[in-house]
Amino acid sequence: MSTNFPTRAADGLRNTQQRRNLAKATNTIRGKTAKVTAELPDWEALREAGKAIKREAHAKLDQYLLQLEEMVTKAGGHVHWAADAAEAREIIVRLTRQAGTDQVIKIKSMTTDEIELNPALEEAGIRPYETDLADMIVQMAKERPSHLLVPAIHKNRVEIRDLFRAEMGEHGTGLSDRPPDLTRAARAYLRQKFMETKVAISGANFAVAETGTVGVVESEGNGRMCLTLPQVLISIMGIEKVLPRFDDLSVFLQLLPRAATGERMNPYNSLWTGVHAGDGPCEFHLVLLDNGRSKILADEVARETLHCIRCSRCLNVCPVYERAGGHAYDSMYQGPIGAIVTPQLRGLEEAGSLPYASSLCGACHEVCPVKINIPQILVHLRGRVVREGHAGKGEALAMGVAARMFGNQGALDWSLWAGRLGQKLLMRDGTLPWLPPPLSGWTLSRDFPALPEQSFRDWWQKREDK
Ligand code: SF4
């Protein structure tokens, strides 16, 4: 089924409660991130450094990945290569079965959502438990995440209380909607899972080629529990996450928390290198996932997409995301980054409407901590949608007519004359509140500006004649 952004966005626009929840949450995060990024005098230099490191890592990606494999193996870990989502699912299900368990605990990971791991585990008779609070809420509600970092951003605390009461058994009985009570109930519910589960599955924010170190940063501490208590740890990461040197972490450990949640530092920064007797899991597996990333790397304009550190700052400043809501993107990657990454991962035939989910205002580019030029990539992908034949027939026809009209002065003058004449029938207070199809899509939710009596060309000519 294809991802139809306009239809889904219309649903989001009608959901006034969701719009209120989103506006409140994104406004708060925007304020916090703006304050803590402004207080660093070298913030711009850090952004440049982050971008340069990503460029270097991706220019020699093959070398750095092989080095990472060598160092992880040397430290007692195992590396697995997955060309696509199906292969990654098969590897993780097999490893979990080998550990002889029928349940796993999970740390927040967009990559596991990308490969649709949870349904695959359930199908194999293995129950996955999300331990990140927001992910747990989304899992209990049987919904999809609606924000990269705050997957339950569309829900308010009353909705969460009702969910906990319904899903948490004794821990949810008589629960209030006060945040401390909700957190206490979640903690009690999760504690048991941490203690009894043998296998944990995590994503990875970074992996260092030089040392074989893998890292996860988080705010709640649930990740730290998953990374230390179980006997087996399986981590999956997209191949673009590799960093050349251990020192590179110093740049990203500053960029990520400030851009993501407006914190100066993440409360929990976990780094591990292979396995160590008597300390943490005794078995460690790292799954390196391609799943379309090599193809993105081959596109000279769009390859910057792979620089993304999933901070979600672009979502929090995007006027389209704030109004349409995360579910409109039909993907675990939402907002401006979702609008460029999902079509490239899933293909333009399936997700070709997403590059149009933007006003091209440029706010995402302005705030991105690694300076990804998202508007430029959106325009590039729109071009590919048309060139590769995924645009609607009506749109292709309209654009063809427009191209001919704008390329011929006589035809343009005639069209303007006819338009001015025709609009007299439809004009109300200087605007056009209704237009016939296919332009009716525009006037469904806003007026169309009327053609002015004098074109710029006429005005210029008169000015020259004076
Ligand atoms: S594109 Fe930039 S701002 Fe958006 S999530 Fe990625 S790193 Fe953050």
Q: Where are the domains of the chain?
A: 40-291, 393-465
* Sheet containing strand 242-243, strands side by side: 242-243, 206-208, 213-218, 268-273
From residue 70, alpha-carbon distances to 75, 209, 234, 415 in Å are 9, 9, 17, 66
Nearest to 223 by CA among 128, 113, 107, 310: 107
Q: What is d(CA 351, CA 2) in angstroms, rounded to the nearest whole number?
A: 6
Please give the single-letter amino acid code of residue 32.
K
* Distance in Å, CA 37 to ligand 1 centroid: 15
Per-residue pLDDT, 1: 44
314 lines ligand 1 (CB under 6 A): yes
The Cα 338–Cα 217 span in angstroms is 21
pLDDT of the residue at 2: 57
> Both ends of the chain: CA-CA distance in Å?
61
From first to last of its 466 residues, the chain has per-residue pLDDT tens of 456 899 999 999 999 988 998 999 999 999 999 999 999 999 999 999 999 999 999 999 999 999 999 999 999 999 999 999 999 999 999 999 999 999 999 998 999 999 999 999 999 999 999 999 889 999 999 988 888 878 787 888 899 999 999 998 888 888 999 999 999 999 999 998 899 999 999 999 999 999 999 999 998 899 999 999 999 999 999 999 999 999 999 999 999 999 999 999 999 999 999 999 999 999 999 999 999 999 999 999 999 999 999 999 999 999 999 999 999 999 999 999 999 999 999 999 999 999 999 999 999 999 999 999 999 999 999 999 989 988 877 777 877 888 888 899 999 989 999 999 999 989 998 899 998 887 787 888 788 999 998 888 889 989 988 8
pTM for the whole thing? 0.87
CA 273 vs CA 64, 120, 127, 353: distances in Å: 16, 28, 27, 41
Which residues, 6+ apart, have CB-to-CB distance to 179 below 8 Å? 157
Nearest atom in ligand 1 to the alpha carbon of residue 340 is 1
Ligand 1 atom showing the smallest separation from residue 374 Cα: 1
Could you tell me which CATH number the domain at 40-291 has? 3.40.50.10420
Pocket of ligand 1 contains residue 370 by CB under 6 Å: yes
pLDDT tens-place string over residues 257-306: 999 999 999 999 999 999 999 999 999 999 999 999 999 999 999 999 99
Residue 3: the pLDDT is: 63
Give the distance (Å) from ligand 1 centre to CA of residue 40.
19
Distance 344 CA to ligand 1 centre (A): 16
The predicted structure's pLDDT at residue 331: 92
Distance CA 134, CA 14 (A): 24
Reduced to 3 states (helix: H, G, I; strand: E, B; else coil), residue 80 is strand
Q: What is the residue whose two structure tokens read 């338009």?
A: 419
pLDDT of residue 402: 87
262: left (phi over 0), alpha (psi -120 to 50) or beta: left
C-alpha 116 to ligand 1 mean position (Å)? 22
Q: Which two tokens stand for residue 161?
A: 């209380």
Among 368, 373, 374, name the best residue to mutate to test ligand 1's pocket (greatest count of ligand atoms within 8 A of Cβ): 368
User: Which of ligand 1's atoms lies nearest the C-alpha of 336?
Assistant: 4
Residue-level pLDDT at 18: 87
DSSP symbols for 146-170: SSSS-TTTT--HHHHHHHHHHHSGG
148, 304, 309: residue to mutate for ligand 1 pocket, most atoms within 8 A of CB: 309
The answer to whether the beta carbons of residues 335 and 148 sit under 8 Å apart is yes
368 lines ligand 1 (CB under 6 A): yes
> Reduced to 3 states, what is the DSSP secondary structure of residue 338?
helix
Testing ligand 1's pocket by substitution, the residue of 206, 333, 337 carrying the most ligand atoms inside 8 A of its CB is 337
63 CA from centroid of ligand 1 (Å) = 25
**Nearest residue to 419 via CA among 409, 429, 432:** 432
The dihedral sign for the CA sequence 240, 244, 249, 255: negative
Provide the token pair at 243. 């960093």
